[in-house]
Structure 1
C-alpha cells in the first residue's frame, strides 16, 4: 500500500498535538514529511503551540517549502481558529487534499470560496470535527435517520469542561462567539448530520459566574425542528471535565443516553438504549451497547482521508453538509441571524 506523503501546517491549534500523534500511529498510511511551526507568523488568538515534544524527530519546514513541494500529497491544517480557512485556501490553490481543523472561521463567504474551489478541483477536504470517528456518535446518527427510537422529540448535548484555568477563559473571551464558536461546532456537526437543517437557531451567550461579561464561556444554543428541540451547551467552568459530557436523545419510541461521550483508556463508550417496542433488530426494553475502544479521536478519520486521496472511498460528509455546519455555528454563536429556507 502506497504511503501518502503528508505535512502538518501549524502547531498552534488546540488539536494540533492530537493530530500529529494520530499521524504517527498510522505509518502504514502516511509518511510525515515535516511540520510547519506557525508560531512565527500566526497572529490571531491561540491556546496552544508552546509544547513541541510530540514533534521531536520530525523535520520542521517553512510554509513555502510545504506549499511548493510537488511530492507532498496532503496536509493537515492546524493553525489557530481564525487563520484556518485562509490557510486552507492557499492549500486548495495548490491542489492539496487536506484535513482542516475546526471551526470554519467567522466569514461564511470565505469558507464558501474554499468549498467551491475544492469542489471544482475534486479535492478531498475533511473537516476535523472530533466526533466523526466516534462509533457511539455514528450509531446515534444512524439511529436517528432510521427512526430506531421513533420520531425525535429532543436532543440534549454538552461540551462542558473545566480545563485550561484562567488562561483559557481569556482565550475564549477573544471570540465574540465564545465557547459555542470554539467547541459547540462539534455538536452542531453531529446534529446536522442526523437532523439536517433546522427551522430556527437561537444563541444564548453568557459568562460563567465570576467572569467578565465579555468572556462568553457559558453558552447555549437552541435548534428548532418541526417537532424537535435541540439544546446544545458549552461551559468552561463545569467540574468533572470532559468525562462528564453527555448526550441524550429522546424520541416517540425510545431514548438514547451516554456519558462519557468518548474515552481513550482502553475501554469503549457505553450507550444506554431504551425501546418501547421491537425496532431494527432490537427487542423492546433496556439495552447497554458497548462500542469498540478508540486509541484516539482522529485515527479513523485520517484513515478515511487516506482512502479518499487514493480514490477508495468518497467523503461521507458533503461540501453542502460542511457549509450547513458553518451556517448553524455562526448563528448559534451570535455572528449571524438564522435564515430558514429549503435548498
Structure 2
C-alpha cells in the first residue's frame, strides 16, 4: 500500500468535524476520501467543508468503496463494535473512537474478529501520542520519582446544559461519564503503573431520568500495594489532569488529556517535584495530538507494522471499566 492512506469516515460526529478529520487532512500520510451518513445533505456539507471527494448515503456503501483503505469510526458507543467488524469484513483498517465496545466480552469478540481477518485495528486514545505523555513514561522508566506507588487521574467537562438530545446521556447508546471520560484515567493509570489492577471499588452518581452515570469514581488496586484513584464527571469542569506519586517524588500533568487544539491549543506541562519539594517544569509546545495519532496509525497500516496501541489493550481497559460499573452497582469490591 502506498501513501497517502485513503480514509473513510462513518458519520459526521462533532469529534470528527472538530478534531480528527482536520487532523487527517493536515497529516503527512493520509487524506479523507469518503464520508458516509444517514443524512446525505449533512454529509455533502461536511464533504464540501473538508474537500472530501466521495459522499455515501449508507455506511455499507462506503465500506464497499475501493477508494477507501482505512475507516475512522466516531459513531455512538453502542455501534462501535458492530461497524468495526463490518469494516474488517470489508478489509478496511479501523481507527475506532474509545471505547472500542460496550463491555469486555464484546471487545474480545471485535479484536478476535480483526485477528481472524488480518486487518489492523486501534482504539483512539490520542493523549498517548502527545510528547508530554511520552515524557512521563520516560521519567518513570528513568526512576526519576522512584517506585510508582499511586496514580490520581481526573477528567470532567460540564455538559449538563447540553443534555437534551446528547447521546452521552442515552443508556441505549452506551452513554455515561465512565465510558466517555473515565476510560482515559483508567487507561493512563494502567499505562503508567505498567500492570493490570486486580480489583476495583467503584461509585456512580446515576441520573434518575436517563439511567447513565453523571459522575464516576473508582479505586484501582494493583499488585505490589499500588493503587490508582480515577474519576470522571459531566457535572464538573476539572478538565483533565493526573498525578504520579512515587517513593522519591511526584509528577504532575495539569493538562494531560485535552490540552487544546488550533487557536485554543495550550502549552503542555509536566511538573517534577522531588523529595525536597523542589519543582522542575518541562514545557511542550502546542501540538495536534490527533494528528500525531492518525499519522502513527497510518504509518503502521502503510508499512504493515503493528499499530502503536495494541487492540489487546482495548480489551484490558474494558475489563477494568466493566469491574468499576459492576462495583458501583453492587456497592462491593469487584475483581478484575
**Shorter-chain TM band:** 0.7 to 0.9
Q: Tell me the TM-score normalised to structure 2 length.
A: 0.84
Q: Which residue of 2 aligns with 1:45?
A: none
Q: Count residues with an aligned counterpart.
A: 318
Q: Say which SS state the counterpart of residue 185 (structure 1) adopts.
A: helix
Counterparts of 2:200 and 2:165, CA distance in 1: 25
Counterparts of 1:219 and 1:266, CA distance in 2: 27
Q: Where is the helix percentage greater, Structure 1 or Structure 2?
A: 2
1:16 Cα deviation after fit: 2.2
Q: Tell me the TM-score normalised to structure 1 length.
A: 0.82
Comparing 123-132 with 159-168, greater Cα deviation is found at 159-168
Query: 8 Å contact 1:254–1:274 — kept in the other structure?
Result: yes
Query: 8 Å contact 1:9–1:38 — kept in the other structure?
Result: no
Q: Where is the strand percentage greater, Structure 1 or Structure 2?
A: 2
- Structure 2: stretches of 5+ with no match in the other structure: none
Counterparts of 2:44 and 2:247, CA distance in 1: 48
Whether 1:104 and 2:100 are equivalent positions in the alignment is yes
Q: Which residue of 2 aligns with 1:67?
A: 63
Label 1:97 to 1:16 Cα distance change in 2 as closer, same or farther (>3 A).
Answer: same
Comparing 184-193 with 260-269, greater Cα deviation is found at 260-269
Query: 8 Å contact 2:167–2:175 — kept in the other structure?
Result: no
Q: Say which SS state the counterpart of residue 86 (structure 1) adopts.
A: helix
1:77 Cα deviation after fit: 1.1
**Residues 156-192 of structure 1: CA distance to partner in whole angstroms, max 9, x if unpaired?**
1111111351416974443387211221112222222
1:109 Cα deviation after fit: 2.5
Counterparts of 1:180 and 1:51, CA distance in 2: 33
Label 1:67 to 1:51 Cα distance change in 2 as closer, same or farther (>3 A).
Answer: closer
Q: 1:321 aligns with which of 308, 313, 331?
A: 313
Q: Which residue of 1 aligns with 2:291?
A: 299
Label 1:151 to 1:214 Cα distance change in 2 as closer, same or farther (>3 A).
Answer: same
Query: 8 Å contact 1:275–1:285 — kept in the other structure?
Result: yes
1:2 Cα deviation after fit: 2.4
Query: 8 Å contact 1:85–1:105 — kept in the other structure?
Result: yes
Q: 1:159 aligns with which of 150, 155, 166?
A: 155
Query: 8 Å contact 2:34–2:68 — kept in the other structure?
Result: no
Q: Which residue of 1 aligns with 2:230?
A: 232
Query: 8 Å contact 2:154–2:230 — kept in the other structure?
Result: yes
Query: 8 Å contact 1:162–1:238 — kept in the other structure?
Result: yes
Label 1:173 to 1:192 Cα distance change in 2 as closer, same or farther (>3 A).
Answer: same
Counterparts of 1:158 and 1:74, CA distance in 2: 32
Counterparts of 2:210 and 2:123, CA distance in 1: 31
Task: Indicate the RMSD between aligned Cα atoms, in angstroms.
Answer: 2.9
Q: Say which SS state the counterpart of residue 95 (structure 1) adopts.
A: coil
Query: 8 Å contact 1:249–1:257 — kept in the other structure?
Result: yes
Q: Say which SS state the counterpart of residue 250 (structure 1) adopts.
A: strand
Q: Say which SS state the counterpart of residue 186 (structure 2) adopts.
A: helix
Query: 8 Å contact 2:148–2:244 — kept in the other structure?
Result: yes
Q: 1:251 aligns with which of 234, 238, 246?
A: 246
Q: 1:132 aligns with which of 128, 134, 141?
A: 128
Label 1:189 to 1:35 Cα distance change in 2 as closer, same or farther (>3 A).
Answer: same
- Structure 1: stretches of 5+ with no match in the other structure: 41-48, 278-283
